[in-house]
Structure 1
Amino acid sequence: MLKPSDKWTWYYDDSEQHLMLDLGDNMVFRTNLARKLIVECAIGINEFSVDDASAYMTYKEQIALLGLSEPKQAELTLYCVAAKRFHKPVQPKSWFFDSLSDGQLKPEEGDLIRLNNSYSDGYFIVLEVGESASLCASVNLEAFWLNSAKCLEFGQAIKVMHDRIQLCNHHFHVQSISMVG
């Protein structure tokens, strides 16, 4: 798995029309953030910050529980860090999801959650927590259908009200049990 480095650099690539991350050693990662999804400060050169490295470690730890291949884990982790830092502020799009709680739930960054609707049922990771809504990214390898015409692909982010979220960290944590005889 990749290890964060202060040599990494974010930049927007006009030819790719996406935010990119230069990992050094002639390796470049293309994020899933197109121009219309990023904040203005993402245009230009931005260093991979200490906050980016901290978010990377938070997401990496949780994503490791999902049973994805190592390359998919790295891809999803970098999508999450990019979205946390550079995704434009958006309004919640909760109408796409069924209510799963009373809304009193306050998730934390890195929590694994479940969202569902009449088209899909899947898992997401919390990227940024707000007062009543959180920015989350899909961890599903298959498309998560929002309606009959629109879907979220692996790693794509959406903001959702907390009453639509069901915490699912416990589904992924493996408890070791010692047998005493």
Structure 2
Amino acid sequence: MKMTFRPTDCWRWYFDSEYDSLMLEVSPEMLFRCCYPSKMLVPDVFGEFPFSVSDATSYYQFYNSCQLLNLTDSQKIELAINAIVAANFLKPQMPKSWYFSQQPKLYRPKVADIVEVNLQEDGQKVCLMVVEVGENASLCIIAQASFTAMSKTFVFSEAIKVMNDRLKPIEHNIARHSEHLKLEAIS
């Protein structure tokens, strides 16, 4: 695996009030806008701060996990950066496990695991990435283009907390058939 997009000590986080979003400045010519609205973010992000060594470690951990998914390199980068934001800067969430069926065996996820859940309505399998593990529930982000459950549409990188008894290790054939997304740079 060749990675051409590597964190440096020049990367920095800052909040952009025009976009109402946390931004990651990768270079003067390249910005990344996280997908979470300001109302979901902890108050500490409404300023400017460096991309830390811990952030870089998390980036590689999440990016490496993305290799199981049929995503473009830019999608893997986007998923990894949004995973850092979800793990470190989102306000606490309550589980929304009612969308998903309980699994017959309890799975103990780890951070950066690619997992799947089955929709309650039709059993459809959905790909998630675990970004924060709790004793009973884990914060995950959507690791596929989108899905609809109970008339609500969930999109790529959206955060959702799920009870651990709903999660199971991903079947590799699911990961290989994910839809491709079209991403656009904002700068």
Give the alignment's TM-score, normalised by structure 1: 0.87
Q: Say whether residues 1:147 and 2:150 are aligned partners.
A: yes
Q: Percent identity?
A: 35
Q: 1:134 aligns with which of 123, 132, 138?
A: 138
Q: Say whether residues 1:14 and 2:8 are aligned partners.
A: no
Distance 2:144 2:31 in 1: 24
Deviation string, structure 1 residues 58-114 (Cα, Å, up to 9, x no partner): 111110221211111111111111111111111111112111244x32100011110
Distance 2:149 2:43 in 1: 28
Superposition misfits of 4+ residues, deviation over 4 angstroms: 169-173
Does structure 2 retain, via aligned residues, the 8 Å contact 1:92–1:159? Answer: yes
The Cα shift of 1:170 comes to 5.7
Distance 1:84 1:101 in 2: 27
Q: 2:76 aligns with which of 68, 73, 76?
A: 73
Q: 2:48 aligns with which of 45, 49, 70?
A: 45
Change (3 A) 1:172 1:51: farther
Deviation string, structure 1 residues 37-62 (Cα, Å, up to 9, x no partner): 10010110121111111110111111
1:30-179 correspondence runs (5 A): 30-102=33-105, 104-117=106-119, 118=121, 120-141=124-145, 143-148=146-151, 150-168=152-170
Unaligned runs of 5+ in 2: 176-187
Does structure 2 retain, via aligned residues, the 8 Å contact 1:111–1:169? Answer: no
Number of aligned residue pairs: give it. 171
Give the alignment's TM-score, normalised by structure 2: 0.85
Query: C-alpha root-mean-square deviation of aligned residues, in Å?
Result: 1.9
Unaligned runs of 5+ in 1: 174-181
Structure number with higher relative contact order (C-alpha < 8 Å, ≥ 6 residues apart): 2
Answer with 1 or 2: which has the greater Rg: 1
One-letter amino acid of the counterpart of residue 139, structure 2:
L
